[in-house]
Structures are given as C-alpha cells and as structure tokens.
Amino acid sequence: MNAVRSPMAELLARQVLPATTFVASAGVRGGERDPFVDAVLAEDRLSLGERHPRTLDDLEDDYFDLIVTLSPEAHHTALELTRSLAVDVEYWPMPDPTDVGGTREQIMAAYREVRERLKARIGRRFVAPEGKKPR
C-alpha cells in the first residue's frame, strides 16, 4: 500500500544515489501514512516530509530502468506490468512490520529491522566498495 517499506526504501535510496537518479515508490493499492515509519526515520534524522502513499497509477512517469519490489504482491504486479518492457525487476523480500503486535517498543523494533535491512540491501546494490557511489 506504499505506506511502510517502499517509502522507507525510496528515502534511503535517495541518501546514497546521485541526485540525478529518479527514485519513486508506489504501491499496488492506496494506503494511509504510517506513523511508525515517521518515527523510525526520525531516529536517523530523516523525514518523508509531506509525502503521502501513492499507487502505480499516481506516478507521472512509467519508464524505469529498474523496479525493486518488496512484497510478493508487488513483485507479481511489476512482472505483469513490465512483461513487454525492457526493464529489470528485482525482488527484495522484506518482512511486513505491520504484522507485528505487542508493545510499542516491540512494534518499533520490527520497523527498525525493516529500515536496517533496507539500508543494507540498498548499500549492497548501489554503493561500490570503499563507500563510493557507482558511476
């Protein structure tokens, strides 16, 4: 629903990719902004600002070199949409922290885990050795 994993990934990717790289996240369905996302991003001094969840139909552009999906449903949809397009689609399975219950701290821990997994995966995929950005 473009409310948790994908917006985090978009913001984290913007931190390491050149400003000239177009990065956008969108969901299969519409959703509501998740306050736990704001809280775990704030721990890293990051903010989504006024950004709100959006769907694939909300994107102004439909040309991409790479689509990264974070859930099985999103991956299936991306493969269907790009069947006749020259675009790479990568699936990075990420747990859904909204499935976690318990205390606020237990829920925050689940969101932190997703944030850290996304940071690591983005780093491995887009940052060259020695911390240099890829060309």
Three-state secondary-structure class, residue 27: strand
| Boundaries of every domain in the chain | 5-125
In order, the DSSP letters of 50-104 are T----BGGG-S----SEEEE-SHHHHHHHHHHTTTS--EEEE-----GGG--SSH
Identify which has the larger pLDDT, 60 or 35. Answer: 35
Above pLDDT 90, what percent of the chain? 73
Q: Output the pLDDT for position 88.
A: 94
Structure tokens at 120: 């690591």
Region 93-99 average pLDDT: 96
Above pLDDT 70, what percent of the chain? 94
Judged against a pLDDT cut of 90, whether residue 8 lies above it is answered with yes
- For the domain bounded by 5-125, which CATH number is listed? 3.40.50.2300
Alpha-carbon distance of 20 to 103, in angstroms, equals: 41
Region 40-68 average pLDDT: 89
Judged against a pLDDT cut of 60, whether residue 132 lies above it is answered with no
Give the tens place of pLDDT for each residue, 17-48: 999 999 999 988 888 999 999 999 999 999 99
Judged against a pLDDT cut of 50, whether residue 135 lies above it is answered with no
Structure tokens at 119: 């940071």
